[in-house]
Amino acid sequence: MAQVLIRKNDSDHILYVHRPDGSTEIARLGPALPFHDIAHFVVEKHFQIKQGFFGQIMNGMTVDQLSNSNVIRSLPDDSMISEVLTRALQGLESGSCRVEDFKEMVEMELSMYELHIPIDERDASTILSNYTALLKKWETMETGESLALEL
C-alpha cells in the first residue's frame, strides 16, 4: 500500500513516502506548512488523478526531480491538471476564489493547455471541506507527529 507521511518539525517539515514497490522517498519540505503538498493529495485523491504529483512520486520520481522545470514540462497531462486544481483549491481556502467560481476558473486555465476534467460545484465544496479538515488536523499536531495520507 502507498502511504505518505508529513512529519511536523520545528524547522523543516519532512515528507516520507512509502511506495507500493517497497522503496521510499524522503524530502525536506522547508519550514512553512506544506499547504501545497496537502492540496495535491486532496485533489489527486478526489479526482482520482493517477499521474499527478503523488502519482509521479509513487512511480519513483523524487521531489527534487519534480521541482525541475525541464522535468515538469515532460510530465503527462495529469500533472498539469493536478497542478491547476491544487492552485485553485488553495485559492478557495484563502478566499481568493469562491466555490461558485471554481469550475470556471479551473476550466479557463486548463483550456490554455487544451486540457479538461469533469468538475462541478459539489467537487469544489467537497475538496475544500477535505482540505480544511486536514489543515485543522495539522494545526492540532505536536512537533514530531506525522500526518498520514493514504493514497
Our count of domains for the chain comes to: 1
Q: Which of 138, 123, 95 is nearest to 9 (CA)?
A: 138
Q: Note whether residue 91 is domain-resident.
A: yes
User: What's the domain range around 131?
Assistant: 34-150
d(CA 101, CA 95): 11
Asked if 90 and 36 count as a contact pair (C-beta separation under 8 A), the reply is: yes
Q: Which three cell numbers stand for residue 38?
A: 496537502
Q: Note whether residue 138 is domain-resident.
A: yes
Q: Note whether residue 72 is domain-resident.
A: yes
Asked if 24 and 17 count as a contact pair (C-beta separation under 8 A), the reply is: yes
In this predicted model, what pLDDT tens digit does every residue of 89-142 receive, in sequence order? Answer: 999 999 999 999 999 999 999 999 999 999 988 999 999 999 999 999 999 999
Q: Note whether residue 117 is domain-resident.
A: yes
Q: Note whether residue 121 is domain-resident.
A: yes
Long-range contacts of 106-109 (CB under 8 A, 24+ apart): 109/84
Q: Note whether residue 110 is domain-resident.
A: yes
Q: Note whether residue 57 is domain-resident.
A: yes
Q: Note whether residue 88 is domain-resident.
A: yes
In this predicted model, what pLDDT tens digit does every residue of 5-37 receive, in sequence order? Answer: 999 988 889 999 999 999 999 999 877 668 999
Q: What is the pTM (predicted TM-score) of this model?
A: 0.93
Scanning the structure block, which residue is given the C-alpha cell 489543515? 135
Scanning the structure block, which residue is given the C-alpha cell 525536506? 28
